[in-house]
C-alpha cells in the first residue's frame, strides 16, 4: 500500500477551504493569517516557506511572509516574534528551521505564543503533547500520525522504531506513537547494532536526515516504512530509507516525494485554521 500524502493533503485542504470562508464571514471579512519567518537566504528554506504560502492561498488564509537578513540578531528576531504574538489577525506563527548559527533558535522558538504555536515547536507545546494534553503537535510527526490513521494502519501494541532524535521530528514522533500505544524505540546515527533493532520493527520512521541511511535489507517483511527525509541525490529525490527493493518488503510505505512532505504543510494549515 502506498501511503499517498499528496492525495490526502489535497482532500484536507478542500475541507479547510469552505471552513475558512465561513470563519472569514464571522470576522466581517477579515482574513486570518499564518506568519512565516525566514531568516537569511537559504534556498531550501525559501522554497519551503513559499510552499506554505501557496497552501495558505489555496485554502483562503492570508499568508504573512516575514523576511529577515542573515545578520538578524536573537534580540531582533525576538522583537519580531513579540510583534506577531500581539497581532490579533495572526493566528499562527512559523519560524523556519534552521536559523543562522549565531541565533539562539530554542529561545526564539519558545518565544512564540503557545496559542499561535501551530508548528508545535515550543518546549511547552512539546511537554503538553507528550503528556496527552491539548497542544498543537509538531507538524511533520502530527502529519504522519494523520496519514497512518487515514490508511487504518494498526498502531496499538506495534513496535515502532524512530531513527532520529531532533526536537521537531524524532522526539515528538516517538511521543505521539507512544500516545497511540505503540512500543517505541528511538535510534540515531550513533546507535549500536542498528540494523538488528530496525529489523525488529513493525513500523520504521526514517527521520535521521541522511540520504538512504536505512537500508532495505535491514527491514523485516511486512514492515510499514515512513520516510520523513528528503534529499537530492544525483538529480533525483530520495529519503532517509533506501528506495531500491522497498515495495517488495513493505506492507505499506510513504513515497518520496509525495508522502510525508505534503502532510507537514497540510497539518500546519489545519492547525492554523483550528486556531481561528
Active site residue ranges:
52, 96, 119
Please tell me the distance from the alpha carbon of residue 198 to that of residue 250, in angstroms, as a whole number: 13
Please tell me the distance from the alpha carbon of residue 68 to that of residue 251, in angstroms, as a whole number: 45
Cβ atoms within 10 Å of 43's Cβ, excluding its own: 7
Closest CA to 145 of 263, 247, 55: 263
Q: What share of the chain is helix, strand, coil (3-state, %, to 5)?
A: 45, 20, 40
Please tell me the distance from the alpha carbon of residue 75 to that of residue 252, in angstroms, as a whole number: 46
Please tell me the distance from the alpha carbon of residue 58 to that of residue 55, in angstroms, as a whole number: 5
Amino acid at each position: 500500500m502506498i501511503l499517498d500524502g499528496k492525495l490526502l493533503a489535497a482532500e484536507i485542504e478542500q475541507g479547510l477551504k469552505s471552513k475558512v470562508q465561513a470563519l472569514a464571514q464571522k470576522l466581517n471579512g477579515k482574513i486570518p493569517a499564518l506568519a512565516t519567518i525566514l531568516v537569511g537566504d537559504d534556498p531550501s528554506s525559501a522554497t519551503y516557506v513559499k510552499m506554505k504560502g501557496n497552501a495558505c492561498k489555496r485554502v483562503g488564509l492570508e499568508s504573512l511572509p516575514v523576511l529577515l537578513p542573515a545578520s538578524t540578531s536573537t534580540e531582533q528576531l525576538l522583537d519580531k516574534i513579540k510583534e506577531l504574538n500581539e497581532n490579533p489577525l495572526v493566528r499562527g506563527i512559523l519560524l523556519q528551521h534552521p536559523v543562522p548559527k549565531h541565533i539562539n533558535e530554542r529561545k526564539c522558538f519558545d518565544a512564540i505564543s503557545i496559542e499561535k504555536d501551530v508548528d508545535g515547536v515550543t518546549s511547552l507545546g512539546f511537554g503538553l503533547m507528550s503528556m496527552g494534553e491539548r497542544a498543537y503537535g509538531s507538524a511533520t510527526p502530527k502529519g504522519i500520525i494523520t496519514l497512518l490513521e487515514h490508511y487504518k494502519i494498526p498502531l496499538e501494541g506495534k513496535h515502532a522504531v524512530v531513527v532520529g532524535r531532533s526536537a521537531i521530528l524524532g522526539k515528538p514522533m516517538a511521543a505521539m506513537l507512544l500516545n497511540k500505544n505503540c512500543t517505541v524505540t528511538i535510534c540515531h546515527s550513533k546507535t549500536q547494532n542498528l540494523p538488528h533493532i530496525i529489523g525488529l520493527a513493525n513500523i520504521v520512521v526514517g527521520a535521521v536526515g541522511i540520504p538512504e541511511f536505512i537500508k532495505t535489507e535491514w527491514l523485516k517483511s511486512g514492515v510499514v516504512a515512513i520516510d520523513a527525509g528528503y534529499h537530492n541525490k544525483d538529480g533525483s529525490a530520495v529519503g532517509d530509507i533506501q528506495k531500491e527493493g522497498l515495495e517488495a518488503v513493505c506492507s505499506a510505505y510513504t513515497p518520496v516525494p509525495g508522502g510525508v512532505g505534503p502532510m507537514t504543510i497540510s497539518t500546519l494549515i489545519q492547525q492554523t485554521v483550528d486556531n481561528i
